[in-house]
Amino acid sequence: MDDYLQKAVEIRKRLDSAAPVPGMPRAAEIEGELSFIRRLFGARVVLGLERSFAPPLVAVVTGGTNVGKSEVFNAIAGARISAPDPRAGMTRRPAVFSDSSNAGFIGNPGFLEGFGRRELSAPSVLNSPAESGPMFHFSLKDSPAARDFVLVDSPDVDSNRTENLDAALRLLAAADTVVFVTSPSKYNDEACVRFLEAAISAGASMHALINFLGRDAAEVVADFAASVLNQRSAGREIRVFRAMRFKEGSGVPQGLSPVGADLREALKADGEPGEKRRRAREALGRVRAGFSSSVEAITAEAAKIRAFLASQSALAEAACAEYLKALDAEKFPELEAVFGEVLDRFSVPVVDDVLRAPGRALRFIASALRGGGSPAEAARAAVARRKEREAKKASEAADMLRLRVVESLFKAASADPLFAEIQRAAASGPLIRPVEAEARSIWSGAQREFDSWIDGMKAEMIEKIGRSPNLRALVKASKAALQIGAGVAGILVTGGIGPTDLVTGPAAAKLMQLAIETFGSAYFHGKRSAFRELHAVRFRAMAGDLVLKPLSQAMPAVPAEGELEETARLLAEFEIPEK
């Protein structure tokens, strides 16, 4: 695969992934445009590069109802392939005709992409109700005159059968050349003229044939050229063929035989590789313009979605900040107990032995007077109460966030049709239900992580003290200071006799001072900050699962930021080589 083709295939894949934001204004129109330019790029650029723009030429015979398209198709083919019908809009399935040598081209998935294919058994099947999905029927004959082109008979473009127009637009995207068939009563019909404009903008070469002309042929052709072609041809030369009234006969209609021969010669000239390259460049310009306008509309809607989601994430961060502010007023018995538990791991000779029993006695007396349990039990109760307060505050904050998000969505829906669609989608989803009870359950279920963190902090301090004799000495002094006063600490550290202070306050102050000097104030500040951050992470995860995730699920899918712009850039830089 050469470099140009490789780049074209990459761009085509990118075009396949482009889509409007569901629910956005003009979504169906934009999807129709994207669908058309995908096929146009695939058939006229990718397939052209694969074959080096060699024949055969794809020529589509199209036009309004009852203008004789199928008769013109048969006249160009030189055989009765399609099935003329006096009823309007009866060609429901495209007929494809070519020389047998082009069987491989017709079987290529890039030819009439999106259509199923089936060999034509009889012309009448083309007028039968369509199968599910687009389908064309092909007829291959040994016909040297048709070796350079593949002829396609299109459904009409103006009947009330919208599936006919859809099929005609699909065929137009694949057309190197369009034979536009009209009549004196049809040439200025709005639907037919719109299709003619679409064919011109797609870069196909054009041939117009006015069928059923009578004595006023010159006036009709002149008016068609002035009122239709001159205003819409974009400077392109469009040859007009005339077909006078004719009598029905067996085989090919007599009045169209000479015109069919002339059109075959015109198609042969259109099929020159240089001409196909030139028209492929025009098609590329149409793809660029169509994609650019589609990207502009899609990215504007996608930006609204991203901005809204960002604003709701900001609401979640504000709710987290409010929760942490309430949390800052709490004391954490777990953290306060960590240092005491660490001290219990390191014994102080004599002091522990002498004071352990009186200490237990005093604690028993104090417990009896309070009417409560042991200090450990009191500490556990305090922790349980704090955890309950935490869970309540967190669940209330999560539900308040949900209400704020729902309020924001309703406000956006009142001003923007896109968000009105989103609101309807969200109305039956999980975003609407209260989350307080679910939040409490989630919050409590995540406690194990915090308990592990506390255990890890204790293990970290014990390991650090155990590796340092100096730290062990200071910890023992701290413990002595806490139990019997700073004087005994001085004896243990210096070996001398100092004043004994049995006042708890100064001893506790000495303990804190030694603790800070031992580990550093930054250590304890960091632990407190880490404990706080664990709560923040926990709250963000809960808010994400219960509020932000349901909100995102209610939002339509949007392309990744910059993805469509990158495709537009690749399209703008891509060029079709001269040879």
Give pLDDT tens digits for 248-278.
554 554 567 888 999 999 998 898 999 999 9
Among residues of the chain, what percentage have pLDDT more than 70? 78
The dihedral region occupied by 276, where left means phi > 0, alpha psi between -120 and 50, and beta the remainder, is alpha
d(CA 476, CA 493) in angstroms, rounded, equals 9
Q: What is the pLDDT of residues 443-480, one digit of tens each?
A: 877 777 777 877 887 787 777 777 777 666 666 665 55
Which residue type sits at 93?
R
Q: Which two tokens stand for residue 446?
A: 């995540």
| Residue 407 pLDDT level (bands cut at 50, 70, 90) | very high
pLDDT of residue 508: 44
Would you place residue 564 in the very low, low, confident or very high pLDDT band (cuts 50, 70, 90)? very high
Question: Measuring CA to CA, which residue among 305, 287, 309 is closest to residue 18?
Answer: 287
What is the enclosing helix (H) or strand (E) of 177?
strand 177-182
pLDDT for res 570: 97
> What is the rounded average pLDDT of the residues 291-308?
95
pLDDT digits (tens, 9 = 90+) for 109-157: 889 988 889 898 887 777 776 666 788 889 999 998 889 999 999 988 9
Span 334-387, pLDDT tens digits? 666 666 666 666 654 444 443 444 444 444 444 444 455 555 677 677 778 878
State the average pLDDT over residues 156-177: 88
- Examine the pLDDT at 485 and tell me if it is beyond 50: no
Q: Is 269 helix (H, G, I), strand (E, B) or coil?
A: helix
pLDDT over 60 at 158, yes or no? yes
528 has pLDDT over 50: yes
pLDDT at 114: 87
For residues 315 and 405, the answer to whether their CB atoms sit within 8 Å is yes
Compare 325 and 508 and report the one with higher pLDDT.
325
| Element (DSSP H or E) covering residue 318 | helix 273-328
Give the gyration radius of the chain's Cα atoms. 42
174: buried, middle or exposed (CB in 10 Å: 19+, 13-18, 0-12)?
Answer: buried
Q: Quote the pLDDT of residue 376.
A: 60
What is the DSSP-derived secondary structure letter of residue 61? E
The average pLDDT across 29-35 equals 95
What pLDDT is stored for residue 343 in this prediction? Answer: 60
Residue type, 343: L
0.85 cut: is pTM over it? no
In the chain, the percentage of residues whose pLDDT exceeds 90 is: 46
Q: Where are the alpha helices (DSSP H) in 329-374?
A: 333-344, 351-370
